[in-house]
Amino acid sequence: MRPQHPKNLRIATRGTTREINRRVVLNLIRIHQPISRADLARLMGTRRGAVSVLVNQLIEDGAVFEGATGEAKRGRKPTFLYMDSRERCVVAVDIRPTRTFVMVTDLLGRQLASVTSFPTEREPKRFVTGLAKRVHAILAGHHDLGRCEGIGVVVPGMVDAETGRVLSAPNLGWRDLSLRESITAAVGLPVEIENSGKACALAQLWSSRDSGASGNFVYLTVSDGLGVGVVLGGQLVRGQHNIAGEFGHIPLNLDGPRCGCGASGCWEVYVSNLATLSRYFGRDLRERPFPAEAATLTIDDLIARARGGDAKALAALLATGRYLGLGLGAVINVIDPSHVYISGEITAAWDLIEATVRAALAERVLTQSAGATPIAIVPTEQYPRLRGAVALVAARSFAQDMSA
């Protein structure tokens, strides 16, 4: 049973049990669809009649629909149940320091239109105005998408979970910004906003069918910065101020480079894309002027050079891999997860850096078994940050509370 603090306890009403069971049924259908009423009853350990009452209400509410009929050796043929994501969509927005990406999916995260992007405007009012225009244009140009259930937004910074304010996004220069309120007013749709690492962890939890893997894991998203999300006991960990899991700002070296957060030597400044490219060029690319070539070279380009025999490119990637492993060792010592998921551009070089990551990890973990913690790569083609943005809206619509 999930522990509850006394201040969060409320008197149960007659509808409490029904609402809990309703959410359980929705979650089971989402994970196991297509699924019959009989199989639902077996998973819940209850009578089929009780499940049918809940399912019929969900069908009436438009959350679930009946699909194909299955085969049965004897008795009545089962009718399979599905989450009803038809003619309902979600707009996902991934804000990064250089570019902002937009994707439209159904409520189950299935992509419905091409991913688009545009340069990120640092001035908040101009950014919101530009985003609103693009969202309106996408929805107006795709009438077949159906009703938009909301907009999910992920940002590289700390967010107040209650108000949707961006408390601090150093790489964007945003602080104490009412982003959710501004986007809602400009677009006229519900908006959910979250830190990119937490959103990615929520998406991994939301999409996983393997309860053993999904209940206790750490998610790292390595890009312009380093986002980290932690899931324990099947719950996304937020902490008192929604900053739990901000391992990107633990120090690897107190005398290291200055981080955007204001501190020195944070893990993020050693593993970000800019850090890797800076190593290749032999200078801090945050300082101008910098080589003209550095303005256009990407991590993908650097990986291609490493594969083509560029020793300096390979050395830059391996150094990042080492720092990634050293920081990950600290995370594993604190969290002891059953799995680690990593996404980001540098994962395209995982075959080149995995051994280095593992060797550095082994230096820092407290036990040999901790050093063997499974690490899974989430490919960039799956748009994990955008999937995280979708999960912010989808979880609100369908699932049980998955935050702690």
pLDDT of residue 5: 46
Q: What is the maximum alpha-carbon separation in the chain?
A: 77
C-beta of residue 161 within 8 angstroms of C-beta of residue 238: yes
Compute and round to an integer the Cα radius of gyration of the chain. Answer: 23
pLDDT of residue 279: 95
Q: HEC profile for 71-140? A: CCCCCCCCEEEEECCCCEEEEEEEECCCEEEEEEECCCCCECCCCEEEECCCCHHHHHHHHHHHHHHHHH
C-alpha to C-alpha distance for 149 and 222, rounded to whole angstroms? 29
Residue 140 has a CB neighbour count (10 Å cut-off) of 8
Q: Please work out, in degrees rounded to the nearest 5, the angle formed at the alpha carbon of residue 228 by the alpha carbons of 227 and 233.
A: 155
Amino acid letter at 291? P
Q: What is the pTM of this model?
A: 0.84
Query: Could you tell me which residues are beta bridge partners of residue 166?
Result: 159, 177
C-beta of residue 73 within 8 angstroms of C-beta of residue 58: no
C-alpha to C-alpha distance for 404 and 4, rounded to whole angstroms? 10
Q: Look at domain 207-385 and name its CATH class.
A: alpha beta
Q: Which residues contact 313 (CB under 8 A, 6 or more apart)?
A: 280, 302, 303, 305, 306
Domain with CATH 1.10.10.10 in the chain: 15-83
pLDDT of residue 212: 46
Q: Look at domain 15-83 and name its CATH class.
A: mainly alpha
Classify the phi-psi angles of 369: left when phi > 0, otherwise alpha if psi is within -120 to 50, otherwise beta: alpha
- What tokens appear for 355 in the block? 């051994």
Q: For residue 153, give the nearest of 143, 172, 141 by alpha carbon.
A: 172
Domain with CATH 3.30.420.40 in the chain: 88-201, 207-385
Pairing, β 375-378 against β 166-169: unpaired
Classify the phi-psi angles of 45: left when phi > 0, otherwise alpha if psi is within -120 to 50, otherwise beta: left
C-beta of residue 277 within 8 angstroms of C-beta of residue 297: yes
Q: Look up tokens 């400044």; give the residue.
A: 269
C-alpha to C-alpha distance for 246 and 37, rounded to whole angstroms? 42
> Distances from the Cα of 149 to the Cαs of 37, 133, 145, 323, 391, in angstroms?
27, 18, 11, 40, 12
Fold of the CATH domain 88-201: Nucleotidyltransferase; domain 5 (3.30.420)
217: part of which helix (H) or strand (E)?
strand 216-222
Tens place of pLDDT for every residue, the chain, 404 residues? 444 444 444 444 555 566 777 777 877 877 777 888 888 888 888 888 888 888 888 888 777 888 777 666 665 777 888 877 777 899 999 999 989 999 999 888 889 888 999 999 999 999 999 999 999 999 988 878 888 999 999 999 999 988 999 999 988 999 999 999 999 999 999 999 999 999 999 889 877 654 444 589 999 999 999 999 999 988 899 988 888 999 999 999 999 999 988 899 999 999 999 999 999 999 888 776 667 777 789 999 999 999 999 999 999 999 999 999 999 999 999 999 999 999 999 999 999 999 999 999 999 999 999 999 999 999 999 999 999 999 999 877 654 444 44
